[in-house]
Chain A
Amino acid sequence: MTRMIFEEAIDLAIADAMAADERVLLLGLDVPMLRAGLYARFGARRVLAAPISEGAYLTAAVGAAMAGLRPVVEIMMVDFITVALDALLNHAAKLEAFTHGRWRCPLVVRSACGAGYGDGGQHGQALWGLLASIPGLGVVVPSTPDDAYGLTASALAHDGPVVVLEHKLLTKNWLEFVGSGGRPGLSFDVPAAGHEGEVRRAPVPLGRAACRRAGDDVTLVSLGVSVHRALAAAALLGAEGISCEVLDLRSVRPLDVDAVVASARRTGRVLVVDEDYRQFGLSGEIAALIAEHGVSARFARVCTDDTIPFARHLEEAALPSVGRIVMAVRRLLAERARATRSASAPCAVETAP
């Protein structure tokens, strides 16, 4: 075990894969400087600086993966993946299905995500729900250095495309680049346990959630930075006699349905804490899965509702926070079971004229 910071763990997983397999190469904007260690060790033939042409270089990486390489592609921030989304949505993710598994696309996309340092709504989105809605595309969101190594290693070993998202509040260098910029006295709400920790240098399987805290009254389902917010909230609520279970999904797609459903069945109450947008995404998916499994748990969610505002105090209020989680859990526990059927009139049928 070695102690390291979050992004060192990802770099190490990539370095280990590059050392073990000549077919692994890294490409993206500014990688010779951003990943100076990899550049110095593997040289410009394996670490390729790209022009700001994400659509072209990500689709080219899909082609390269189809033709025998195992590219790791950096998209500086996940917000910018929009200009290259076609590569993932229509190509990387569909190859296996189109060929009935006869041709696969071993591609890893590494991208920084997340808000909490006041950079505005085009530089702080989570977007893992958007990406994970695509069949055939893996999406992982580690919350600790150990998982950062383990999930990246599994993504690299996987024969299909996987997006690895690193939250900027967990990565010292990103936060330094775009948050503090060397200004002393600026502080951000960085979860210490996620930012630096012991790394086992072992793969963590895709699609397996981790239970971070066991509890009986309510299940907090979370990922990324929000896991740490959920744990802090659970500690506060524990002092009030409310026992929270905290599940760290780690992987959005594949999703550990069994772990979520089993915990929901046991506690009967589920709060999803998700930094991604509230509607049409992960939190709704979890509610649907629980319902589909016949579990009638009470359900609530703390997510990002709207476009993330620039002003720091508004941004803070918009993101999942310990305060919002505590309030939501209290509300969930206060809620009495609703009647399953109401006596209101059936809907009025409207037919086309």
Chain B
Amino acid sequence: MSDLDREGLYRSLRRIHAFEEAVRSLWNEGRISGEMHLCRGEEAVAAGVMAHHREGDAVSCDHRPHGQFVARGVPLVDVLAELLGDERGLCAGRGGHMHLFSRRHLIATTGIVGAPAPLGAGFALALMRLRPGAAAFAFGGDGAANQGLFLETLNLASAWRLPLLLVCKDNGWAVTTWSKDVSAGDPVARARAFGLVAEHVDGMDPLAVWHATDRLLAHVRAGRGPAYLHARCARLDGHFLGDRMVRAARDLHEGADMGRVVVQSATERRGGRARDRARALLRMGRQVVRLKRGLGGGNDPTRLPPGTLGLDAGARRRIDDEVAAEIGAAVRAATQEAA
């Protein structure tokens, strides 16, 4: 049982949030290239789980890694400089947003969906030999839970009793696919079937995530085998920044091109039966509506109702100000370096 540091948990949540907003600005300005998957909507999972991280533990991340890196205490300037492709970045500008690595902090990233699970299992194997009591944390999404690499790891980790905590950040989506449409069985039941201790938690509630992780890690650190945490959370920016579907959902003009193609194709001679075509159109419409519902403020885990975490408004404001100053300074330092 760890000690709950309420201020620390709140600060972690706000740091991740502020970091991601800073990245958003830099990306919007065109200073960061390529895809940008922010973890907005998942902050409470990253903060609540990583609050239990101890020196000597290892972490593997997927294509949405920033929350874990910020919570892990990797220097923010180094991470930002890496995102900017700067020589002085965490990986000298060679890795980038989906390939962040800090050997010193034993935290790694992969852009191959599903791969964080077996990488984490390998971390756990090493820790079991080298540092009994230490744990490996592997983060992935609901989409990744269908990847062979992930499903095989459920068995491998359990058969070898690895000190591994698998964390599923279930934001409901895998790019444009609603995960439930292509997934069978209950994720927690899947993990239990392989002998892992598993819990479902409200990933929008940092305190609930903290407590669930505390229970699961007690099991993992005691050498009794792997655990699985399934945290339902949100996806506030679509799959990545500039997500075309999000733009179309927010503004019909943005979807006009696609709309034209769809209407023209749906009426093309030679194709599926009318019933199949109609159903396809309906399903597409449903996806857009569903997507739109999930976006935006009502779903933001960093906007906690007053009194949560037992912090009064004054304490929260103080922390918010400190975080804003910290992130602002990091951005200034990183962009000066990049200049």
Q: Encode contact with A along B241-262: 1 for CB under 8 Å, 0 otherwise.
A: 1111101000000100010011
Of chain A, the residue at the smallest CB distance from B33 is A118
Query: Are B99 and A38 in contact, CB atoms less than 8 angstroms apart?
Result: no
Which residues between 63 and 110 of chain B lie within 8 Å of chain A, taking CB atoms? Answer: 82, 85-87, 91, 93-99, 110
**Could you tell me the distance in whole angstroms from the C-beta of B91 to the nearest C-beta in chain A?**
8
> What are the residues of chain A within 8 A of B276 when measuring CB–CB?
42-46
Q: How far is the CA of A49 from the CA of B181 in the complex (A)?
A: 9
Query: Are A80 and B95 in contact, CB atoms less than 8 angstroms apart?
Result: no
Q: How far is the CA of A119 from the CA of B32 in the complex (A)?
A: 10
Q: How far is the CA of A82 from the CA of B86 in the complex (A)?
A: 29
Residue A311 interfacial (CB < 8 Å): yes
Query: Are B183 and A51 in contact, CB atoms less than 8 angstroms apart?
Result: yes
Q: A19-B271, A119-B35, A183-B28 are in contact. Are A50 and B182 (CB under 8 A)?
A: yes
Which residues between 44 and 58 of chain B lie within 8 Å of chain A, taking CB atoms? Answer: none
Of chain B, the residue at the smallest CB distance from A120 is B96
Query: Are B111 and A52 in contact, CB atoms less than 8 angstroms apart?
Result: no
Cβ contact of B261, chosen from A37, A52, A122, A313, cutoff 8 A: A37
Query: Are A41 and B265 in contact, CB atoms less than 8 angstroms apart?
Result: yes
Q: A120-B111, A183-B242, A312-B33 are in contact. Are A36 and B262 (CB under 8 A)?
A: yes
Residue A179 interfacial (CB < 8 Å): yes
Residue B131 interfacial (CB < 8 Å): no
Cβ contact of A119, chosen from B33, B93, B243, B271, cutoff 8 A: B33
Of chain B, the residue at the smallest CB distance from A173 is B244
> What are the residues of chain A within 8 A of B272 when measuring CB–CB?
41-43, 45-46
> What are the residues of chain B within 8 A of A47 when measuring CB–CB?
280
**Could you tell me the distance in whole angstroms from the C-beta of A21 to the nearest C-beta in chain B?**
11
Of chain A, the residue at the smallest CB distance from B144 is A52
Q: A38-B265, A83-B148, A121-B99 are in contact. Are A52 and B271 (CB under 8 A)?
A: no
**Could you tell me the distance in whole angstroms from the C-beta of B39 to the nearest C-beta in chain A?**
17
> What are the residues of chain A within 8 A of B85 when measuring CB–CB?
118, 310-314
Which residues between 192 and 208 of chain B lie within 8 Å of chain A, taking CB atoms? Answer: none
> What are the residues of chain A within 8 A of B110 when measuring CB–CB?
122
Q: In the complex, which range does the number of interface residues on chain A fall in?
A: 35 or more
Residue A317 interfacial (CB < 8 Å): no
Q: How far is the CA of A35 from the CA of B176 in the complex (A)?
A: 12
Query: Are A52 and B174 in contact, CB atoms less than 8 angstroms apart?
Result: yes
Which residues between 262 and 303 of chain B lie within 8 Å of chain A, taking CB atoms? Answer: 262-266, 268-273, 275-277, 279-281, 283-284, 287
**Could you tell me the distance in whole angstroms from the C-beta of A24 to the nearest C-beta in chain B?**
12
Q: Which of A20, A29, A313 has most chain B Cβ within 10 Å?
A: A29
Query: Are B244 and A177 in contact, CB atoms less than 8 angstroms apart?
Result: yes
**Could you tell me the distance in whole angstroms from the C-beta of A73 to the nearest C-beta in chain B?**
15
Cβ contact of A185, chosen from B30, B86, B98, cutoff 8 A: B30
Query: Are A43 and B182 in contact, CB atoms less than 8 angstroms apart?
Result: no
Query: Are A41 and B146 in contact, CB atoms less than 8 angstroms apart?
Result: no
Residue A281 interfacial (CB < 8 Å): no
Query: Are A182 and B280 in contact, CB atoms less than 8 angstroms apart?
Result: no
Query: Are A32 and B283 in contact, CB atoms less than 8 angstroms apart?
Result: yes
Query: Are A123 and B111 in contact, CB atoms less than 8 angstroms apart?
Result: yes
> What are the residues of chain B within 8 A of A50 when measuring CB–CB?
182
Query: Are B35 and A309 in contact, CB atoms less than 8 angstroms apart?
Result: no
> What are the residues of chain A within 8 A of B262 when measuring CB–CB?
36-37, 40
Query: Are B258 and A36 in contact, CB atoms less than 8 angstroms apart?
Result: yes
> What are the residues of chain A within 8 A of B325 when measuring CB–CB?
none
Query: Are B266 and A41 in contact, CB atoms less than 8 angstroms apart?
Result: yes
Q: List 6 A-B contacts (CB under 8 A).
A: A32-B177, A37-B261, A52-B144, A118-B34, A119-B96, A314-B94
Which residues from chain B sit less than 8 Å from chain A, CB to CB?
Answer: 27-28, 30, 33-36, 82, 85-87, 91, 93-99, 110-114, 143-144, 146-149, 174-177, 179, 181-183, 240-245, 247, 254, 258, 261-266, 268-273, 275-277, 279-281, 283-284, 287
In addition to A43-B276, A45-B276, 19 A-B residue pairs with Cβ atoms within 8 Å of each other are A19-B269, A29-B177, A32-B280, A36-B265, A40-B261, A42-B277, A43-B272, A43-B273, A49-B182, A53-B146, A79-B111, A119-B98, A176-B244, A180-B242, A181-B241, A181-B242, A185-B30, A311-B93, A314-B94
